[in-house]
Amino acid sequence: MCSCWTIITSSQTKQGYTNQRIAREMCITVDTVKTHTKNIYEKLGVNNRTQAISLVIERGIL
């Protein structure tokens, strides 16, 4: 099961948000976004944003 943070970040990434914009909107640092993004990739077994978004859409998470 994906965490709420995973879903929110994936949604924002799907919308084309940059790490900087995600950080600004969530009131966290860019490094925190990068850490969470890396963790999301590991959970999903992917290597980049395109693969991650494709997979979460395929699985019906977004």
Return d(Cα 24, Cα 21) in angstroms, integer: 5
Q: Provide the pLDDT for residue 47.
A: 94
Return d(Cα 12, Cα 62) in angstroms, integer: 10
Q: Provide the pLDDT for residue 1.
A: 47
**pLDDT above 90 (res 5):** no
| Per-residue pLDDT tens over the stretch 18-34 | 889 888 888 889 998 89
| Residues 11 and 22 sit within 8 Å (Cβ to Cβ) | no
* Domains of the chain, residue spans: 1-11+28-62
| Per-residue pLDDT tens over the stretch 33-62 | 899 888 888 988 999 988 888 888 888 876
How many other CB atoms sit within 10 Å of the CB of residue 8?
15
pTM for this structure?
A: 0.72
